[in-house]
Every structure is written in structure tokens, then in C-alpha cells.
Structure 1
């Protein structure tokens, strides 16, 4: 795992490429593929280490809630690697997305592609995170 302020090395990047292609691949196979010994730990990568410092939480309202529209939106959002999390929600919005981006210019281009130019989306609202106070997927057990 790259610590804040430390760049990812060639091993880190090789492991990330493998895990992003197949996150169920056994650790020992990943270790063999990158010529490292297998370790029993978890890798969480800070977006800053990959030069993706912008985190946006986006509320998306679809033009309608028909199954075909919702399914098409799910497919669109899932296909975008910048969309790190996608939730189909109730309460006045259709989706809440967590998006990472290298800068606001790239974020603007992404919003045009996913929202402004899409016939699926009626409107969207962006909240830009000022600080990542808590992230992760540890379960409270």
C-alpha cells in the first residue's frame, strides 16, 4: 500500500493492474506474477497516490424511473472507471455516485459524457470533497 506522500512503485502498479482486472485472483498468484513473496495484508490506495485528488459525490436524477432507464444508467455508470461507487437510492434522487478525477477539467469532461449529453439524466448535483475524513470498507464486527 502506498502511504500518503509516497509514489507507487512498479510493484504497486503491477499489482493494481492485476487486481483491477480480477479481484478474486489468489494472492500467491499475484505475488508470482510480479515476482514478490505473498503477504497477508490488504491494499488500500489513496487516490492522491495515483494523482486522482478530486473526489466528487454526485446526486443524479434520471429523466424517469422506468426499468429500462434505470438499467441503462446502471450500465453507463458501471462502465466508467472514474465512478468508484454507485448507489441506486430513494429520497428524491435516482443515484448517488462517488467519482475520482485528476482535476476539474477532466471532471467536467466526465460530467458532460455521463450526465449532460445523456438522454437518461434529467439533472445532477455535485459535492466536491474538501477532505477524506474516513474511507474504507471495514465492517463493524
Structure 2
């Protein structure tokens, strides 16, 4: 099974490993092997190969936001739409470089059509959000429009990418 790059060949075991890693990357190699029905040496070798291919970008811990709020406070999470005045390649690259360097920016997407960027940001409170907005958005003469949507409840959060082989008969994923 080929995926986008001609050198990457994945089979059902690889897909099962990728799916299992997305569900819980802290599993031991023995647990992982058992879950995907292969021997532990096979699981270890395959996971190393998937990492070497760059399919596993990194492993992180996902914190429980509600439990962390008891320690750090809930803070303010916002989804922010940004439209640039000039949308040339250099202007987009410059804006993107500035915002991704800020720790308050959790996610940054270039989008089309509509606004040029969507950011997911987290600030400790509204004064913290105001500081972030001034630092990243209002101080940039190339930002034409900003629209912020403040999260009052997160109903779902799942960072997994659906992992399944491409349907090669119809050329569809």
C-alpha cells in the first residue's frame, strides 16, 4: 500500500500500530504487540521503522484541562480568525513565523477560502488574551481583520488521524 510518498509501504500491521499508538503511546511494547497480534520484536522493529519514516512526529502527554484548572485556573481559550491585508507568500510566512513562536498559540492553520489563518490560543485570563492580541495581532500593520470566538465548553477533543489503507480500486482514501 503506497501513501503519498513512493518509498513508504504500509500494511495492515503498520496501520494497526499507528492506530494503537494514537490511542495510547505509553503502552509497553508487550502490550502494543499483543494489541496488534504480532510478536514483541516485530512490534518494536515496526514502530522504529514508522518513527524513522517520520509518520510518528512526536509523542506528547494530553493533560486533562478540567483537572489542570484546579491547579492553574481555567484560562481563556479562543479560536481566532485572522485576515491579512496583503496575502503574498512572504507576508503569510512572516505572520506564521511570528505566531507559531508564541507559546500561547496552540495551533495555527492557513485556511482558504475566508480568513487567511485560524489560530487556537490559550491565555491565563482576559488581560492575558488582550496582551496576546496586542503582541501578535494589533501590532502587525498587515493584519486587516481579527475575529475571536471564546470557548465556553469543549464537547470533544481527539487529536487522532483516521488510520486506514487507501482504497486503491477507486483511488480514494
With the shorter chain as reference, the TM-score category is 0.5 to 0.7
Q: Which residue of 1 aligns with 2:73?
A: 51
**Which residue of structure 1 lines up, in the alignment, with residue 142 of structure 2?**
120
Structure 1 runs, 4 residues or longer, greater than 4 Å off: none
For residue 103 of structure 2, the aligned residue among 64, 81, 91 is 81
The structure with the larger Rg is 2
Instruction: Decide whether the 8 Å contact of 1:47 with 1:100 is kept in 2.
Output: no
Aligned residues between the structures: 103
For 1:1-141, what aligned pairs fall within 5 Å after superposition? 39-40=26-27, 43-48=61-66, 49=68, 50-141=72-163
CA RMSD, 1 decimal: 1.8
Local SS of the residue matching 2:87: coil
- 2 CA distance for matches of 1:127 and 1:91? 18
For structure 1, the 5+ residue unaligned runs are 1-38
Moved more, 85-94 or 51-60: 51-60
Distance 2:77 2:108 in 1: 13
